[in-house]
Every structure is written in structure tokens, then in C-alpha cells.
A and B are shown apart, each in its own frame.
Chain A
Amino acid sequence: MSATDKTPAEDPDVCVVGAGPASALLSHCLAKRGHDVVILEAGPRFDLDERIERMKRQIHPDRADNEIWDMGGERDAYTTSGDHSWLINQRRVKGVGGTSLHWGSVVPRLYEKDFEMESRHGIARDWPISYEDLQPYYAEAEQEIGVAGPDDAPFFPPREEEYPMDPLAPSYSDKLFARAGEALDIEVHSMPMAINTGEYDRNECQGYGTCQFVCPSGGKYTADIHVRKAEREGATLITEAVVQRLNHGPAGEEITEAVYETPDGETHRQKADVFVAAAGAYETPRLLFLSESGEYPNGLANSSGTLGKYFMGHPPAGVVGVLPNEETHVDSYGPVVSSGIHQFYEYDDPDDPKRGSVNIFLTNVSGPSPATLAMAEESVGDELLESVDLQFGSTLQANMSVEMLPREDNQITVDDSQTDSYGNPVPDVDISPSEFARRGQVRGTEAVSEIIEEMGGTVVYADGTLTVEHDEMPPIAKGGYHPLGGSRMGEDPAESVVDPNLQTHDLENLYVSGGGVFVTSGASNPTLTIMALSLKAADHIDEQL
């Protein structure tokens, strides 16, 4: 289909709403098995050639993160009503590839315990599937996207086969962290990264050092790759098709059509046998709420009343240190992350968790780049060089994502007081992280601070989103990363939105794919799990068709 033809596909088997990581592998998998798939994507297909320009926006000190991928404005309006402001448009992308265009490509799996928090610890809730159930799909997702990872890293859950590519070599700052960590019995290890070191069918990493939020070379995996592969297998992609609602048949048993609008103002109706809502953790529940009907007055797939509830994130924390008189970035490295620390993922007392799991990633870039520093200064010539030199090169940094427990009152709803560019109520995020996550942040920042001090460095920042005046923090440090929950998975239709195959309990031909189905958050970056779950759902859809 041409980019300008926005008319519905004829009689497809499957209609997938969204073209990000929750959609791409699933769509490719189904198309490869001979099913007719149509993908409706609200955003455009971005031109690879534009990525240099987008990277420059990232490096420019006066451009906001949401500008990098053209997010914001009326189309993407939202409100927040919890204790914390919650950044959305600086953390997501609408377009082919979705938020993977912007991600850091760190792809650890969830741990076994993350699926069993209630039975092991009496808190939160068990998933209706185990780590072992998802294990083959993790392996399949890793093969599909190309992960460079460590086969023998400590702490990680069991693996059934080697990673597709050898791990990234440690950077210079990784080595500094590892040497100091060894003295403290804290182990630094490679992290699994979806970055091509030369063996996959996309460009090799070229070392721009800007993976998050733009990879100009294409070495970082982005989900547009599998959307393209799905198209090659016959799938139809319709871009700038903003789905307004899903309609069901008279009996309310099945979805019959997705109603979408295109930039020319036309309204179209896409029919299909099966529908997959894969529009992200915010837009998917909003779409289901907006699709309310006489049969489903509280929104589709919401007979449990849990739609939008048990929303979670990974409250971030970070540590920045300075090593006086030492250059910490003398290498020619590239990827923003190559090593991490998962020693504090498991709890200090395995029987009695009092804090969230901690997933620490050491960054190979710390603070602003030389170009960013230069542009932000007011001087010129030698004075400018001196100023940039003074600010750059002796810093170390670690960031971390932390487990947060699901709570019913943390939720996504729709806010009728404000509408988007289509006249629809916007999503509202009401979230107030708890002491459980806060204590995880403290454990992580303490550990990294100890390592930096062991090096002889000075810690200049060690904090998380739950400690200081959140709204005073710079945007990069604020929350909003890794939105999870809101359409959770479960066996009991009275307490969950989807079943273990991501099929909604209420409508047999409607599936939800994405981070929204997570029952607990764990601390691992969630995208690999989202992709693994989508492949599991694809198997089920294939059986049903």
C-alpha cells in the first residue's frame, strides 16, 4: 500500500492497532504463517535519513526530548492527577517502530520471582504464567531482534541457549566500575543489548553514542524492522491512521471494526476477524474506555472493573560521580550502555522483601556531550574550549530502574475535561509510587555511591524520583519510563482484563499486547518481555484462525 492510500485493507484476518514492539514481531509472525494482517499506526513512517537531524535535536541543549520524534501537541495531550507529575510524551514515540525508536535497547529478561511475588512473598499477585512458560518466547524474541549478551552473567535467570551475539566489550568506564566493585564484592557484568555488532541483517553499530534517543546508523534494533518484514510477508501498513474506537457486533461478543481517522479528515472502518490492541500502555486502555457501548458502559474488556488500574512504572534513580584529574571517557566506544549490576535485583532477605528490585545500568556517556556543552555556553574560541574541557571528561554515571508494586489506585483513566485533536477525552495518569520502590532506589544509589567512592571519586548526585522535589528535577531524571499495567493478565475474569494468551476475557476476538498486561513490574527493562508475550499471543491467534 502506498503511503497516501489510507483506505482499509480488504477482508484481513487480523487488525493490529499500533506498529511498535508489541505489534511488530506479532504481525510478522502471523503474516509469515499466511494470515492477512493489517497494521493501523497513528504516526508516520520516519525516514532513516532524517535520523542525523533528530540526533542533533537530542544533542542541542534547547530542544526538549519530545521534539526529537515530533511528539506533543493536541494529538498527544494528557493530564496527570497523582502525587507526581508523570512525563509521557518525552518517553514515547508514535510512528512505525513506536517507542523502540527512542529506547536504550537494554534487554534483560524478567526474573523467575517476578512472576511469583504472591506465592513467594505474599505481596502483589502472581502472573498466570511462569518464567518457564515464557522462556522459549524470550529466546525467540532475542533471536529475532539480535541481542548481544553474556551467556554466563551472574544473577540472570536460567537460559536455554546462548545469546545470538557475543556481549559488547566493556567500555573504559565499565572497567573502572568493575575494578572498584571487585574490592567491594559487587560484581559488574555485561548487559544484554539489542545492538548489532555485525552479525545481523541491519547496519552495524557505528558508535554515535546517542542510542537513547536516536540511533542514526540503524545498528540499534527498532521495531520498524519487523514491520517491514511483516509487509514483505504480505501485511498491510496504514500510517497516520488514528483509531478512534473499536465497535462490536449486536451480541457484544466480538469486535467487528476499528474506526480510524486519517489526516484528510476522512473516517474509515477496518473490519477483521481478530483485533489486537497494541497501542502502548496509555493509548490501549484509553481506546478501550473510548469504545464504551450499551453492552459495555464502562469500556470494552472491562467487566472486571480493573481496566486502567494497577498501573506501574520503573521509578528511576541515578548516581553521578567525579574522578578528579582522571579522564573517564578515553575510549572510542559507542553504545550508551554495555555493563550493569544485577546483584541487587534479588532481595537482601529473599524471604522478606522490603524494597523493590534494582536494575542498574552503567552509562558510557555521562553528562552532556562536548557539543551540548559548547552550545550551552556563551563564550567563544579558546575561552569556550577551556570551559568545555573543564566540564567534560571526569564524570561517571549509573542509572537504574526499580521495581514498583501494583496498586489499584494507581491508574489510567480518561479525563473528560480535556480533549485531543479528534475531540476525544485525553488519558489521565494518577500515580503515587510507594516506599517499597523508594527503598529500592536507596539500595541502588548507595551501592553505586560506594563504588565511586572506592575509586577515589566524589559523588555529586545520588537520588531518585521519590526523594527530592520531583517537579524540580531535570526532565531526563523524572519518571515516566517503562509504563506497565492497566490491562493486567490473569486467569480470573473478575480480576483481570486479559488471559495468559493476551485474549480479553470479555471479547473472544480482541487481544491486548503490550506492557499493560504486566501483573508485576520487576525491575528489568520491559520491552523484551513485551515482545516475548506478543509472540506467545501470536501462537494462540494462529491456532484460533
Chain B
Amino acid sequence: MELSRRDALAALSAAGIAATAGCSSLLGDEGTETAAEETDEATATATDAPTDAPTETPADEASSMDTMVALAEVLYPSEVEPTESFVQTYLYGRIYAEEAYAGEVDSGIETLNGLANDEAGDDFHALSADERVSVIENTDLRTGDSVHDGSDVERVNYHLVDELLFAFYSSPVGGEMVGTQNPRGFPGGYGYSPPLDQ
């Protein structure tokens, strides 16, 4: 099952979130601008999906995306295939301070590559899936603390690993795999519940 950009956009448009963050630094100069005006009050309205969002990743960001997708591939169930467009659109579309987050991604990937080189002699995205799992299992990734302003590895756990896990397990695809169409954290609308005999 391929996790597509469409999956990501569906989620983002439901939330009106794509309008809130420029995302331009991660999505290219055209960004995900919409016609919606930003307002600073609670009466702000939901917006249209950014259907004209770019699909190409700038060259200088390609290796970052390769690493994030490579990480998502081993974090997510084997049944799903996290595409670059899913990671790029859904994940970064939900980031508020995208420039600060891009900084965390850059430094996190550097840390991740350091661990990968120590463990298997190459950058993380260049390793096989088994080797990537080994890097995770043989370091403090996953087993160590996850702290937004902690040590290098703790920050990887918080800003890369947990962010990718949030993106998947609070999406309809991830939710349905554990029995809910609308997992907490996903704006799947309200008020629908099937009758008891279903």
C-alpha cells in the first residue's frame, strides 16, 4: 500500500492546515500558498487543499528526503510504502515553525548518518532495510529518551522518529490498521458513529 501525496493532501485539506505554514523552505519556492487569508483569531476558516502544490523536490533537499523516507520505511509497517511525497507533504505540511524544523531535520540527519557510518559504514539512506533496523536497535534510537531540546540522539528521536510516527499513526491509513478511522490528532470530522450491530 503506497502512502501517497494524495493521502497527505486529504488530511491537510480537512484540517485547513496547509494554509498555516508556508512550507516553502521544504517544498520549493512555490510553497503551498493558498488563496486563504491568514487570520489570528479563532474565527479563521478552513481552506481549500493546495491542489497546485509542487511535486518536485529541489535537488539540495533530495538527500534529506531520501533519509526521511528511508527512516519511515523501517518505522512503518511493511505493508505500507512511505513515498517521498507523503513524507514531504503530510509531515512538513503540519509543521508550524518550518524553518526551525528544517534545522532540526538537517542536524538530525547528520546525527543519524554518524550513527549509520559507525554501525554500517555508510549514510543512513544508503543502507539496506536490515542495516537500518540494526542501526536503530544498536543505538539509543527508539530505546533512548525523546527530548525536543536534548542531546543529538534524543533530538533525532523527538524531531525525526517521533514526528514520522505521529504522521503515520495519526493518519487514517495508520489508524485503520489499529481499528479507528479517525485516530486522535487527525481532523477526520465529527459525529459519525455506526450502529451497534455493525
Contact = CB atoms under 8 A, between A and B. Distances in A.
A326 to B, nearest CB: 10
A49 B189 CA distance: 19
B103 interface: no
Contacts of A380: 74-75, 133, 136, 142
Interface in B114-151: 133, 136, 142-143, 145-148
Nearest to B76: A381
A52 B169 contact: no
B3 interface: no
Contacts of B95: 53
A332 B166 contact: no
A333 B193 contact: yes
B189 to A, nearest CB: 5
B6 interface: no
A128 interface: no
Nearest to B20: A49
B65 to A, nearest CB: 20
A543 interface: no
Contacts of B192: 331-333
B179 A330 contact: yes
B178 A389 contact: yes
Contact of A218 (B42, B136, B143, B166): B42
B96 A334 contact: no
B50 interface: no
Interface stretch (B53-61, B105-113, B180-188): B180-188
B43 A218 contact: yes
Interface stretch (A11-19, A130-138, A164-172, A352-360): A164-172
A388 B178 contact: yes
B165 interface: yes
A114 to B, nearest CB: 31
B78 A392 contact: no
Interface in A340-384: 365, 369-375, 377-382, 384
Contact of A370 (B78, B133, B175): B175
B172 to A, nearest CB: 9
A224 B74 CA distance: 43
A121 interface: no
Nearest to B170: A371
B182 A371 contact: no
Contacts of A372: 184
Interface size for chain A: under 10, 10 to 19, 20 to 34, or 35 or more residues?
Answer: 35 or more
Contacts of A298: none
A20 interface: no
A215 B133 CA distance: 36
Nearest to B147: A62
A52 B166 contact: no
At the interface, is chain B mostly helix, strand, loop or mixed? loop
Interface in A196-234: 197, 201-203, 205-210, 216-219, 222, 224-225, 228
Contacts of B74: 380-381
Nearest to B196: A175
A262 to B, nearest CB: 21
A228 B39 CA distance: 13
A197 B191 CA distance: 9
A370 B97 contact: no
A370 B136 contact: no
Contact of B182 (A168, A333, A375, A379): A333
Contact of A393 (B16, B158, B178): B178
A329 interface: yes
B36 interface: no
Contact of B184 (A170, A202, A208, A384): A208
Given A48-B42, A330-B180, A330-B198, A207 B190 contact: yes
Among B14, B170, B190, B196, chain A packs the most CB atoms within 10 A around the CB of B190
A52 B133 contact: no
B185 A379 contact: no
A385 B182 contact: no
A393 B180 contact: yes
Interface in A272-293: none
B40 to A, nearest CB: 6
Interface of A: 47-50, 52-53, 55-56, 59-63, 168-172, 174-176, 179, 197, 201-203, 205-210, 216-219, 222, 224-225, 228, 327, 329-335, 365, 369-375, 377-382, 384-385, 388-389, 392-393
Given A332-B190, A370-B180, A375-B146, 5 more contacts: A197-B190, A203-B45, A208-B185, A331-B192, A334-B182
Interface of B: 14-17, 20-21, 38-46, 74-79, 94-97, 133, 136, 142-143, 145-148, 158, 162, 165-166, 168-170, 174-175, 177-196, 198
Please provide the 7 A-B residue pairs with the shortest distance between their CB atoms, ordered closest to farther.
A334-B190, A331-B193, A369-B184, A206-B187, A332-B182, A393-B179, A209-B184
